[in-house]
Structure 1
């Protein structure tokens, strides 16, 4: 299964600017991307990075500097297009965000399995976003504005696509805010967690609640 991994090279992870300098955000975003690509490959997926600009990787990269919704829909047009005249239904295509630092092969394998059974299988993020999905319905397209999980459920219903929700803490945790770094330090197993620790980040429970401090 081909797995599209969108990745922004332009000021990545800007909401972490209060705790990370610009060059640190670039390095941390790259560490998370590498973790996601490794997990996808280990789950049997074929990762392809959909980047806003050129990026040096040993994986296939497609450059598309359009906004996320347009870029992903362009990829879906190519792979699922309703006008595709090839024989048989389209192969399922997955889209997995590059900041899912807790992703593991096991959680991705569960998503891929759900996407083989349903026309559209979606992992909702906290706050109603869409962190990952698998689609095979030729008319399904995305809209990442607002509570996109609800939008994608409605879009699937409108085109008659069987829809499944995949509930996963690891895939449902995207790293956008400083508080999210605690999840990486607690549950992370890859480069992103290592990068944070080497940068001096640690967990602090001295006040009765877990927070992140930089030593």
Structure 2
């Protein structure tokens, strides 16, 4: 199965600007990408993983450089094949092989595949986005603007594709805001969490509220 991991190699995670400068944001983005690639490698699936990057990036995976916005770049990949394609965002540092496996389903010919009847499988983000998906229907196309989880359900219905939603804590957190860094520190031991700790970030609690502080 082909898996595409979109990655902004130029100016990633701009909403983290209150906590990180541009070089730090790029370093954290690469660490999160490494966590996602490790989760994909850890599955028991035979996957053809390709990073779809806006510029050159040195990673342990095949890379296609496409400087178009996210939606047309991903749709070009979907249009190029009638085989199933999964799209997993690069800013999911809590992703695990087990969580990704729930999205992809077992190997073809396996038993009890809950995704088998679905033309589109969606893993929604906490803010209404789509953090990962599996497109089985050849006519399905993405639209990552606005509330994309709702829009993707509508797009699937428009082409007659049945939809299944994967309810996954590990795939629901995409790192957008400084507050999200606390979840990474609490729930991950991957490269992104290690980078944050080395950069001086830690979780604290005061007045019953969790926050991230930097030494």
Aligned residue number for residue 79 of structure 2: 77
The equivalent position to 2:50 in structure 1, one of 48, 51, 54, is 48
**1:152-191 pair list within 5 angstroms:** 152-191=152-191
The equivalent position to 1:108 in structure 2, one of 100, 111, 130, is 100
How far did residue 46 of structure 1 move? 2.8
Aligned residue number for residue 214 of structure 2: 214
Find out whether 1:63 has 2:65 as its counterpart: yes
Find out whether 1:99 has 2:106 as its counterpart: no
Aligned residue number for residue 3 of structure 1: 3
Supply the distance in 1 between the matched residues of 2:206 and 2:158 (Cα, whole angstroms).
Answer: 51
Post-superposition Cα deviations, 1:7-52, rounded to whole Å, max 9, x if no partner, equal 0012111111111111111110000000001101111333210000
Deviates more, 1:197-206 or 1:94-103: 197-206
8 Å Cα contact 1:51-1:62 kept in structure 2: yes
Aligned residue number for residue 86 of structure 1: none
Aligned residue number for residue 31 of structure 1: 31
Deviates more, 1:147-156 or 1:113-122: 113-122
Post-superposition Cα deviations, 1:182-211, rounded to whole Å, max 9, x if no partner, equal 110111120000110111100101332111
Aligned residue number for residue 201 of structure 1: 201
Supply the distance in 2 between the matched residues of 1:109 and 1:117 (Cα, whole angstroms).
Answer: 16
Post-superposition Cα deviations, 1:112-161, rounded to whole Å, max 9, x if no partner, equal 11544411000111121110000110100001110011111011111111
Supply the distance in 2 between the matched residues of 1:53 and 1:182 (Cα, whole angstroms).
Answer: 29
Structure 1 length as normaliser, TM-score? 0.92
- Measured on the aligned residues, the alpha-carbon RMSD in Å equals 1.1
Q: Structure 2 unaligned segments of length 5 or more: list them.
A: 106-113
Aligned residue number for residue 109 of structure 2: none
Supply the distance in 2 between the matched residues of 1:116 and 1:49 (Cα, whole angstroms).
Answer: 25
Higher helix share: 1
Supply the distance in 1 between the matched residues of 2:116 and 2:64 (Cα, whole angstroms).
Answer: 25
**1:106-145 pair list within 5 angstroms:** 106-113=98-105, 114-145=114-145
How far did residue 97 of structure 1 move? 0.2
